[in-house]
Amino acid sequence: MDIFNEDVLEYISMISAINDENLYRIRNQVSGYSPIVRSGVDRFLAFMIGLKKPESILELGTFLGYSAILMATYAPWAEVVSIEVDAESYIKAKNNVEKSGLENIRLIYGDALDVLRFLDKKFDFLFIDASKGHYNEYLDLCLKITSKDGIIIADNVLFGGRVAKSGPVPHKHRTIVMRMKKFVERIMNDDRLSSCILPLGDGLAVIRYKGE
Ligand SMILES: C[S@@+](CC[C@H](N)C(=O)[O-])C[C@H]1O[C@@H](n2cnc3c(N)ncnc32)[C@H](O)[C@@H]1O
Q: Looking at residue 152, which CATH number applies to its domain?
A: 3.40.50.150
pLDDT in tens, 85-106: 999 999 999 999 999 999 999 9
Amino acid identity for residue 80 in this structure: V
The phi, psi pair for 94, rounded to 5°, reads -60, -45
* pLDDT single digits (tens) 144-173: 999 999 999 999 999 988 888 888 888 998
pLDDT tens digits for 24-65? 999 999 999 999 999 999 999 999 999 999 999 999 999 999
Phi, psi at 194, each rounded to 5°: -120, 120
Pocket test for ligand 1, best of 60, 108, 139, 204 (most atoms within 8 A of CB): 60
pLDDT single digits (tens) 103-122: 999 999 999 999 999 998 99
Residue 1 lies in a domain: no
Domain-embedded: residue 165: yes
What is the identity of the amino acid at 181? Answer: K
> Could you tell me the distance, in angstroms and rounded to a whole number, from the CA of residue 194 to the centre of ligand 1?
25
Q: Which atom of ligand 1 is nearest to the CA of 67?
A: 9
DSSP 82: E
Count of domains in the chain? 1
